[in-house]
Structure 1
Amino acid sequence: MTETFTLAHFSDVHMSPIPGVAWQYWNAKRLFGFLNWQRSRRHVHSVAVADRLIADALALRSDHIAITGDLVNLGLPAEHEAALVWLTNIGPPDKVTVIPGNHDIYSSMRGDRGVARWAPYMGCEEDTLAFPFIRRVGPLALVGLNSAVETPPFVASGRLGPHQLEIAQEQFAELGEEGAIRVVLIHHPPLASLDTPRRGLKDAAHLRRLLERGDAELVLYGHNHKPTVTWLPTLGKPVPLVGVASASAAVAHGDEPLAQYNLFTFFKNPDGLRIRHVVRGLSRPDGPVTKISESFLDASS
């Protein structure tokens, strides 16, 4: 690796529900979700705000954009179609990677292809999904995991399952032998301690054991709408687990800040890989997109 590479990380856009949805897709889960949107979340999330952050990342010449899920709210076909248009406006599939969140795979689709519409942005064939997937972008190997599963009302938990975990373990080892910088993308927080059982990753303990082998350089996630950096001890160097605020938060909501995104710059020096981590976003609702913080995730320490 002789040049720097920048990766912008966004999550939890929560595009507004599309009116006029066919009756067969409605159930208790979606009804309560829609009521929650009407009562609360519609006053928080704005795609126009997310667009401002995306424009900022593009203006800074980010080499690639990764979005860790929850593009939509009720997981409905019209929402998936609108999200695909939004992704297309950001850039072509070779410049953008997305994984689904629990709001994207929300409840029964009754045979609809759902997030398979986004397959090219997951490095998959049209309408055909396979997880985990690997996308090689510059010196990075983006490993996309799918933690989103259908859940009952008032539950937002996720699960990877043994098949994904087994394949991911093999992929991590192979990518390490190739010298790739392994960046894991997952929607739910990867540790049980980072969320409640009702909202957390059900098999987080299994994922933790996998990561403790030291087979990744960086883990990116969303779901909590909060900027977070947690260091996980491994058999080798500690691995940073980095969460991000919602990319569309037009107002602060509880302990969730205004819209933000992560910007990572990867480069090597004589001591090894270094990762600069910049958080950019809004410091006030009507203000510009600015730098919130800057630090180094020093994988050589």
Structure 2
Amino acid sequence: MYVIAHLSDPHLGPIPEARISELLGKRFFGMMNWIGARRRNFGASTLTPLIADLLAQAPDHICVTGDLVNVSLPAEFDTGATFLASLGTPHKVSVVPGNHDAYVRSALAYHLERWAPFLAGDDTHPNTPVDVDSFPYVRRRGQVAVVGVSTAIPTAVFLASGQVGRSQRNRLSDLLDRLKAEGLFRVVMIHHPPVGERAFHRDLRDAAQVRAVLARAGVELVLHGHDHRSSLGQIPAADGPIPVVGVPSASAGPDDDRGAGGYCLYRISGEPGAWNCEMERRGYRRGQSAVESLTRQMLVGSAAPQ
């Protein structure tokens, strides 16, 4: 059995001090959002016990699906790197960026530079810089392949949308075919969800095209963040529906309107054509201060929903 833990959207605070020139434009509105709401509802008092509980489960691998930072100030990416290292070594921890990790165009390269050990594929040469063309990346871990897809693009004020793009979709399609031929359980990490309905300013712009790639390849599991909610969707595919799982913000307080902080565990076993995957949701119940097991269900296997 191979166990993956999945968390997302920690929005690590506090926001560091910045020059006035750094806070012009979109960052200014992001700061106001932090001061007005997020600072009160997101924080270490929630995140620290949650991470302690996650590490106590001793997962084999940890997947982080983006939005580690808030307004993409340079120092926030150092905080993000420290957070990732606190979860484990780069061999054990994989991350993909979210829209806040590419909040403004001038910060687009920061996550690529400072989180490189955690988002470089197994085949990436140590001296090769990670760039946007490095996605999707793949990490083979036993019978499991973790595939990281980037939806992080700079957007205008009040926009939080994402896009995979044609070139990355083509690379993803080819990669998923190779991994299927290797007989691996393919776990796709992506920040923006490829299923469900949401306002245009928060959507995945090429969601339909991404769904088509995933459906044709018939991947085993898709993990995402962005919505700050627990969710379970499906993508119809020839070999059966593909489960698409969202988790709440790992830093959200027990009374957060979109859902208290939480994460998921996925217990993967079996073999090609006969995979099993059980999901356990762990986190806070509304209004409660303790992290606990919330639900368990089969996602893949004979008892999985069809």
The TM tier, using the shorter chain, reads over 0.9
Q: Secondary structure at the match of 2:39?
A: helix
Per mean C-alpha deviation after superposition, the further-off stretch among 145-154 and 282-291 is 282-291
Q: Cα gap change, 1:250/1:140 in structure 2, threshold over 3 Å: closer, same or farther?
A: same
1:228-283 C-alpha deviation (Å, 9 max, x unpaired) = 111221122110011111111124332x1110101000012898111110000011
Q: CA deviation at 1:113?
A: 3.4
Residue 47 of structure 1 pairs with residue 47 of structure 2: no
Alpha-carbon displacement from aligned partner over 1:43-66 (angstroms, at most 9, x marks no partner): 111134223222212111111110
Give the Cα–Cα distance (whole angstroms) in 1 for the partners of residues 145 and 260 of structure 2.
Answer: 30
Aligned length: 296
**TM-score normalised by L of structure 2:** 0.91
Residues 189, 235 of structure 1: alpha-carbon distance in 2 compared, 3 angstrom cutoff: same
Look up the match of 1:160. 164
Counterpart CA distance in 2 for 1:30 and 1:21 is 10
Matched, 1:131 2:128: no
Is the alpha carbon distance of 1:154 and 1:164 closer, same or farther for their aligned partners in structure 2, counting shifts above 3 Å? Answer: same
From the superposition, tell whether residues 155 and 103 of structure 1 become closer, same or farther in structure 2 (CA, over 3 Å): same
User: Alignment partner for residue 98 of structure 2, among 97, 101, 126?
Assistant: 101
1:120-164 Cα deviation digits (max 9, x unpaired)? 001254752311100112221111000011011111000011010
CA distance in 1, matches of 2:155, 2:14: 19
Identity of aligned residues (%): 38
Helix, strand or coil: the match of 2:102? coil
CA distance in 2, matches of 1:111, 1:140: 30
1:201-220 aligned within 5 A: 201-220=204-223
Q: 2:278 maps to which residue?
A: 276
CA contact (8 A) 2:254 2:288 kept: no
- State the 1:75 CA deviation: 1.0
Corresponding residue of 1:287: 289
Query: Counterpart of 1:225?
Result: 228
Counterpart of 1:80 in structure 2 is 77
1:13, CA displacement in angstroms? 0.1
SS, match of residue 88 in structure 1: helix
Matches of 2:16 and 2:222, distance apart in 1: 36
Corresponding position of 1:148: 152
User: Please, which runs of 5 or more residues in structure 2 have no aligned partner?
Assistant: none
- Residue 5 of structure 1 contacts residue 265 of structure 1 at CA under 8 Å; is this kept in 2? yes
Kept in 2, the 8 Å contact 1:9–1:261? The answer is yes
Give the deviation of 1:17 after TM superposition.
4.3
Structure 1 segments (4+ residues) deviating >6 Å: none
Deviations 1:78-119 (A, max 9, x none): 000111111112211011111100011100326863442101
1:280/1:236 Cα in 2 relative to 1: closer, same or farther (>3 Å)?
A: same
Amino acid at match of 1:207: V
Moved more, 29-38 or 55-64: 55-64
- The answer on whether the counterparts of 2:192 and 2:224 sit within 8 Å (CA) in structure 1 is yes
The alpha-carbon deviation at position 76 of structure 1 amounts to 1.2
2 CA distance for matches of 1:131 and 1:262? 24
Please give the alpha-carbon distance, in whole angstroms, between the structure 2 residues aligned to 1:111 and 1:247.
Answer: 23
- Whether contact under 8 Å (1:213, 1:236) holds in the other structure is no
CA distance in 2, matches of 1:234, 1:112: 35
- The separation in 1 between residues aligned to 2:108 and 2:147, in whole angstroms, is 27
Supply the distance in 1 between the matched residues of 2:246 and 2:153 (Cα, whole angstroms).
20
Structure 1 residue aligned with 2:8: 11
Indicate the residue corresponding to 1:175 in structure 2.
179
Looking at structure 1, the residues matched to 218 and 262 of structure 2 have their Cα atoms a distance apart, in angstroms, of 28
Change over 3 Å in CA distance of 1:55–1:108 after alignment to 2: same
Q: Which amino acid aligns with 2:230?
A: P
Contact residue 156 and residue 199 of structure 1 kept, 8 A: yes
Cα distance change of structure 1 residues 253 and 278 upon mapping to structure 2, 3 Å threshold: same
Structure 1 residues 269, 178: CA separation in 2 closer, same or farther (over 3 Å shift)? closer
**CA–CA distance in 2 between the matches of 1:190 and 1:41?**
25
Give the helix-richer structure, 1 or 2.
2
